[in-house]
């Protein structure tokens, strides 16, 4: 990767960049657009370290500098269509001498911790990442959604969808940059399950393929933890279905619709999976939550 002298992009004395920012929040997910009209340094709007930021460059050629404990910070290029992941937003500077437009999304560190993901302080999304373009386009459009355009239900749906898309991009980046160590395999597999379990076609074979390892190797990792890949996929779907059955935002959905939403073929297969996991029936869960039970 090309590097430049740390001061080569420093704005002249007295220079003030013209920065305009807009932002929108969907639950725990915050999206912002930052436009710089005449160049300068763009620092994170907030230097909190409890979130991971993904910066999508929409216009302009920039450089980024990592202040993460290096004796001499290096400056590396990032151009239109690229994306930068900052697991520690406080150590990253984005800078340019010209106009640029960036859309950034912040995802809570706790979401990554829940699926066992750990990221380096700063890393680029590989140019050939299959999810880069569609995720960037969706996040850019979502940044334009106004509060008046969304209800509580749709904002909750947007939050979940954004989490799944960003997590999938982070997982793809981690897999493309290096082959995971055996100790990381389980966490990466569980992260894939957490983000992709609503897809009915998700299988152990597909997870092994995405992790670039044999199915037998992956199954051995899960056996060492006294579980199986299929069981964990089922558990993830059941957990989301139970949460939906208890949530009044989904009161209008039938059990059959919820079952298909989380990745089962319908309400009957959902009920069987819940029984296998020791859960009460869908109707009982809805009744205990004070809702009218909806039959599949």
Q: What is the pLDDT of residues 145-201, one digit of tens each?
A: 765 455 555 667 778 788 888 888 888 787 655 555 555 688 778 888 887 898 899
The mean pLDDT value of the chain amounts to 78
Q: Do 217 and 130 fall within a single domain? A: no
Residue 106 lies in a domain: yes
pLDDT over 90, % of the chain: 26
Q: How many separate domains does the chain show?
A: 2
pLDDT at residue 243 is higher than 60: yes
pLDDT the model gives residue 161: 81
Q: How confident is the model at residue 294 (pLDDT cuts 50, 70, 90)?
A: very low
Rounded mean pLDDT of 188-217? 86
Residue 119 lies in a domain: yes
pLDDT at residue 14 is higher than 60: no
User: pLDDT tens-digit profile of 262-292?
Assistant: 999 999 999 999 999 999 999 999 988 764 4
Map the chain to HEC letters.
Answer: CCCECCCCCCCCCCCCCCEEEEEEEECCEEEEEEEECCCEEECCCCCCCCEEEEEEEEECCEEEEECCCCCCCCEEEECCCCEEEECCHHHEEEEECCCEEEEEEEEEHHHHHHCCCCCCCEEECCCCCCCHHHHHHHHHHHCCCCHHHCCHHHHHHHHHHHHHHHHHHHHHHHHHHCCCCHHHHHHHHHHHHHHHCCCCCCCHHHHHHHCCCCHHHHHHHHHCCCCCHHHHHHHHHHHHHHHHHHCHHHCCCCHHHHHHHCCCCCHHHHHHHHHHCCCCCHHHHHHHCCCCCCCC
Q: Do 207 and 268 fall within a single domain? A: yes
Question: Which range marks the domain in which residue 50 is found?
Answer: 19-146
Q: Do 190 and 278 fall within a single domain? A: yes
Q: Do 183 and 140 fall within a single domain? A: no
The CATH number linked to 32 is 2.60.120.10
């Amino acid at each position: 990767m090309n590097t430049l002298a740390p001061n080569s992009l420093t704005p002249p004395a007295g220079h003030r960049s013209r920065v305009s920012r807009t932002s929108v929040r969907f639950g725990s997910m915050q999206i912002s657009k930052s436009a710089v009209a005449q160049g300068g340094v763009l620092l994170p709007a907030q230097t909190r370290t409890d979130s991971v930021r993904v910066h999508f460059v929409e216009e302009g050629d920039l450089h980024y500098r990592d202040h993460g404990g290096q004796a001499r910070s290096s400056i590396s290029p990032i151009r239109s269509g690229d994306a930068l992941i900052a697991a520690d937003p406080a150590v990253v500077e984005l800078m340019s001498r010209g106009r640029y437009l960036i859309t950034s999304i912040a995802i809570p560190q706790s979401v990554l911790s829940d699926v066992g993901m750990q990221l380096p302080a700063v890393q680029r999304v590989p140019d050939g990442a299959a999810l880069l373009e569609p995720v960037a386009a969706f996040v850019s459009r979502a940044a334009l959604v106004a509060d008046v355009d969304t209800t509580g239900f749709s904002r909750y749906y947007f939050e979940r969808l954004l989490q799944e898309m960003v997590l999938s991009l982070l997982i793809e980046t981690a897999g493309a940059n290096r082959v995971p160590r055996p100790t990381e395999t389980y966490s990466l597999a569980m992260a894939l399950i957490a983000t992709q379990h609503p897809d009915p076609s998700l299988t152990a074979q597909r997870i092994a393929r995405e992790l670039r390892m044999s199915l037998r190797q992956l199954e051995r990792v899960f056996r060492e933890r006294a579980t199986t890949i299929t069981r964990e996929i089922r558990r993830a779907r059941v957990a989301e279905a139970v949460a939906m059955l208890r949530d009044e935002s989904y009161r209008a959905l039938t059990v059959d619709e919820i079952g298909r939403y989380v990745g089962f073929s319908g309400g009957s297969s959902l009920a069987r999976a819940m029984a296998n996991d020791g859960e009460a029936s869908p109707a009982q869960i809805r009744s205990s939550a004070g809702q009218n039970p909806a039959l599949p």
